[in-house]
Amino acid sequence: MQTELAIFHTSFMLAQLTPVGIVSANAILSEVLASHIAGIVHKQRIRIVALLHAHCVTFAFTSFNRQEIHGSFARIALAI
């Protein structure tokens, strides 16, 4: 639960970054999410929903590039 809360907090903090910083921060966050999901996928599938929701919130606030969104979700899919 602490991880999900940290990700939600991070997603809102990212919304305050400059467009250039947002692209980098989104790439880093998506990698962190992918790694975390890969670690929990066989243990607690319910947490994946919370993580993906946090990811969606992040991009709803920060993404300026649809291709970046699709690339991040592709990395998550590969992790699963």
Task: Band the pLDDT of 73: cuts 50, 70, 90.
Answer: low
C-beta of residue 31 within 8 angstroms of C-beta of residue 76: no
pLDDT of residue 51: 62
Whether this model's pTM surpasses 0.95: no
What are the backbone angles phi and psi of residue 49, rounded to the nearest 5°?
-60, -45
pLDDT in tens, 52-64: 666 665 555 555 5
**Amino acid 59: pLDDT:** 58
Strands (E), the chain: none
